[in-house]
Chain A
Amino acid sequence: MERRRSLPDVLAGGVFVLIGGAFVVGSLGYELGTPLRMGPGAFPLLVGATVAALGLAIVVKGLIAGEVIAFGPIPWRAIAVITLALLFFGFAVRRLGFVPTSAVTALLTTLASSRVRLLTAVAVAAGLTVASTLIFIVGLQMRIPLWGSWLGF
């Protein structure tokens, strides 16, 4: 049988090893306890080590006989813009208030598509801001100020 090296497998395994390893290191900082009274660190240590071991197995398999997966293009622009939009929402909603935060988040997200025109983006963002205000603030009575303290209202 032909050996196939699979980069996605190695990458996936690497992610597992990394996260599992990080949790193992982290859980060593907590009390491990005894079998009778397992401390807060025991379970994550065990599970983290398992994740890392499975990750390692995936890496090894990826180097010997991996799954051939078409990796495809990566939409860098969408990744950057959507991540930014979500982080912005979480950070700003209390400070700027519901309306401006929603508008900016919607506008940023709209720009994730490479085919979008600016005018469309603005229109979509405006429409979504109005809709979300009606649904969440008027309809569901969410208790977030419409305009936040940063705007000096």
Chain B
Amino acid sequence: MGTTSRYRAATRMSAALSLVALVAACSGNGGATGRGGTDDYPGRNITFVVPFSAGGPTDTVTRMIAEPMAAQLGGKIVVRNVEGAGGTVGAGEVAQAEPDGLTVLMHHIGMSTAPALYEKLGYQPLKDFETVGLVTEVPMTVVGRKDFAPATLADLVAYVKANANKVTLANAGIGAASHLCGLLFQTAVGVKLQEVPYQGTGPALTDLVGGQVDFMCDQTTNTSGQISAGKVKAYAVTTPQRVKSLPDLPTTAEAGLPQLQVSVWHGLYVPAGTPPEVVRKLSEALKVALAEPRVIEQMAKLGTAPVPPEAATPQAHRTKLEEQLGTWAKVIADAGVKAS
């Protein structure tokens, strides 16, 4: 990676090294909130809060765009992971941060599902945040165990309808993208299947590869390696376009289940009340970052792509959020799921 993150890593490492020698080194306590005029924004370090663990797909996307955005804004961006309770802990923290544009939240589809999943949510997505812009929409794939009988998506639909009480559908836990996609699949097909929750994608995928469960739906980030190695059977990708890294895999629309449209969309947020000028600056920087060839290339490796420039705007992001909040409120209520 480029100079900014290398510098960040270097300072962090020298600091960690100083611990070994127990020597006090630089104690620059950046990222603390404080008010400043909008003209000199950012003027200090910006903190990108990722409500998931370091190294996860959301964290990866954040780190990809943080560096070019920082270059554009003229400052430093520090990525901070605040994990817990399906991303609601980190989001809640940003909702209460100073609305000065120095604390920015990167969140995914979970922003639109949390109000339906969690009874006591400490924030309201539309009221407590300003949308900055969409970043990427990671496609999802419907995959089955290698020796699962159905060969195509149409076969799969017919098969689960005929064997609804026998088929098992794995997911990575309540509220996980794979869980949501599975719910949508059941709604689209009109069946109720036996769901098998796991704690995280790793174990779920392990049991799918091992043939213990029948099928699941998960992000390309997690599945494309297994698909191209032939360890799982791929049925379809759930976005309007095919994925570059899996050119032979049809879309759900092509394969005859157009209702199954879902992606793990990511967007940037700032606390409500942030000056419009600051939001505009962030959104512009985001647009520039998303056009960087390096970013496009890195995202392609994850099986995704940056959103088109017109989607990296506060308005497009807000429209998406509103639409998704409606969709998931219904799907989740119908399924009777609560993560409380």
Contacts and interface: CB of A to CB of B under 8 A. Distances in A.
B16 A140 contact: yes
A84 B259 CA distance: 58
Contacts of A137: 27
Contacts of B80: 143
Interface string B4-29: 00000000100110110010110101
A135 interface: yes
Contacts of B24: 134, 138
Contact of B15 (A131, A139, A143, A145): A139
B18 A139 contact: yes
Interface of A is mostly: helix
A95 to B, nearest CB: 15
Contacts of A141: 12, 15-16
Given A140-B16, A141-B12, A141-B15, A135 B27 contact: no
A140 B27 contact: no
A139 B19 contact: yes
Contacts of A140: 15-16, 19
B271 to A, nearest CB: 18
Interface string A26-70: 000000000000000000000000000000000000000000000
Contacts of A146: 29
Interface in A117-153: 131, 134-135, 137-141, 143, 145-146
A138 B18 contact: yes
Contacts of B31: 143
Contact of B27 (A131, A138, A143, A145): A138
Nearest to A141: B15
Interface string B149-183: 00000000000000000000000000000000000
B15 A134 contact: no
Contacts of B16: 139-141
A137 B12 CA distance: 12
Nearest to A134: B24
Contacts of A138: 15, 18-19, 24-25, 27
B5 to A, nearest CB: 15
A111 to B, nearest CB: 26
A128 to B, nearest CB: 13
Contacts of A134: 19, 22, 24
Contacts of B29: 146
A146 B15 CA distance: 17
A137 B27 CA distance: 8
Contacts of B12: 141
Nearest to A135: B19
A143 B45 CA distance: 14
Contacts of A135: 19, 22
B273 to A, nearest CB: 20
Interface of B: 12, 15-16, 18-19, 22, 24-25, 27, 29, 31-32, 80
27 contacts: A131-B22, A134-B19, A134-B22, A134-B24, A135-B19, A135-B22, A137-B27, A138-B15, A138-B18, A138-B19, A138-B24, A138-B25, A138-B27, A139-B15, A139-B16, A139-B18, A139-B19, A140-B15, A140-B16, A140-B19, A141-B12, A141-B15, A141-B16, A143-B31, A143-B80, A145-B32, A146-B29
Interface of A: 131, 134-135, 137-141, 143, 145-146
Query: What 4 A-B pairs have minimum CB-CB distances, sorted nearest first?
Result: A139-B19, A138-B27, A134-B24, A138-B24
Given A138-B19, A145-B32, 20 more contacts: A134-B19, A134-B24, A135-B19, A135-B22, A137-B27, A138-B15, A138-B18, A138-B24, A138-B25, A138-B27, A139-B15, A139-B18, A139-B19, A140-B16, A141-B12, A141-B15, A141-B16, A143-B31, A143-B80, A146-B29
